[in-house]
A and B are shown apart, each in its own frame.
Chain A
């Protein structure tokens, strides 16, 4: 499984998350249906840019704390995700995997979870 970025066919900028209008060249990505963008799988490896250990969680999480971080991916994109790293450090190499990240009633959300590479 992958998380996909949206590549503008006009200028090549990859957007994650999705946006209807390209931030760089202003092309309407939604115009002509899917013709204007191309799905590209985001890299799952990168460097940990920042993180936090959150101890006050929304009610549907039944864990006492959650490690969250922003990762600078090797392909130049950035992504927010959960961390499965006992003692994270700024700038460390990490590797991601798609897992269930949240169970909200009957809704199962999958997303990226990073481990130390």
Chain B
């Protein structure tokens, strides 16, 4: 298997974007080409979940490759729910590692705000089990709410801990120009004060408004290259060292222990094994905090903290910028935003920026290893990536 490097990155703001989906997708592709100095690539993979349903556009990759005038490069659209982004990176990794391609452009793009919030909620809810969950009105926030209630009861996690994740990630996003939410929040405003119930109403109790990520438009891109092709670009040598994926039951009630996220555990273990380093050696991580409870649970499942102790590390500030393991320096899905298909690529973008030392005010000093966890469905399909700075 050949080594795979990231030689170019690009991103749009994660927000509401009033451009056609294919243009949103092409923009970070253009930025990444500029970043890498390349003018063409062998293959384009475009991760997208809702084009067909929300934007009336299928076969997005064909539109994007044409937008970028990269034809006749190969192009495929990849859909794997909210883990589409990391899945597309995994596919790009396989293409370069196998020797099939020397340079691959991986784009993640989504335009969810073309429809209203009721429709986008329903669109994401189509991820749930059609007969055993969806018909009851089950949506992703409701699965997260049921998970959170059980988890908080079992591990003594309080609403304040959830609030701490939100406050931390909102703080981080203040220094990220491309983040969806530039809004500093406090525990007083969202939990403690009498106005908290108005500021921060319940969405799927115990989860409140500020426990949930926003619905975003946006796109991100990474260009992967083989060792030789990467050397020619002269870019910092950021190696995609580990790729792992694992799946779990579609219906959440079907899991033996509903507070376990076995897919996240398995995907992380596989990524670390391939990368040859341990969770304790990670300098910076981007986790899939679509709901605040997930950042806590994932930080345990991927191996950073013992099961049931993630909220204690959070409490001590270990996961904040400046702490021993900063999680979601970009603001995470919580504050950077969650354009579903783009999220996994956005996470990789942040890690590459951090490892290059180009993250400016939110830079994790001396970061040499990075990790991402992209969580599809409600934990039924998870893709983890491990990155390493070389030389």
- List residues of chain A with CB under 8 Å of any chain B CB: 16-18, 49-61, 66, 68-70, 78-82, 90, 101-102, 109, 111
Contacts and interface: CB of A to CB of B under 8 A. Distances in A.
Contacts of A55: 201-204
Contacts of A102: 135-137
21 contacts: A16-B132, A16-B254, A17-B254, A50-B149, A50-B150, A50-B258, A52-B146, A52-B207, A54-B137, A54-B203, A56-B141, A57-B118, A57-B137, A57-B139, A68-B146, A70-B252, A78-B254, A80-B133, A80-B252, A82-B136, A82-B137
B136 A59 contact: no
Given A70-B252, A70-B258, 19 more contacts: A16-B254, A17-B131, A17-B132, A51-B149, A52-B146, A52-B148, A54-B137, A54-B141, A56-B121, A58-B121, A59-B122, A69-B146, A70-B146, A79-B132, A80-B253, A82-B136, A90-B150, A90-B153, A101-B137
A80 B136 contact: yes
B232 to A, nearest CB: 48
> For chain A, what secondary structure do more than half of its interface residues adopt (helix, strand, loop), or is it mixed?
strand
A33 B131 CA distance: 21
Number of chain B interface residues as a range: 35 or more
A109 B203 contact: no
A78 B252 CA distance: 10
Interface string B117-139: 11101100100010111011111
A59 B115 CA distance: 12
B127 to A, nearest CB: 13
Interface of B: 117-119, 121-122, 125, 129, 131-133, 135-139, 141-142, 145-150, 153, 201-207, 251-254, 258
Given A49-B150, A50-B147, A59-B119, A68 B138 contact: yes
Quick one: which of A53, A61, A82 has the most chain B CB within 10 A? A53
Contacts of B122: 58-60
Contacts of B148: 52
Nearest to B255: A78
A29 B232 CA distance: 54
Contact of A81 (B118, B136, B258): B136
A82 B146 CA distance: 12
Contact of A54 (B145, B150, B253): B145
B149 A52 contact: yes
A101 B136 contact: yes
Contacts of B129: 17
A56 B148 CA distance: 17
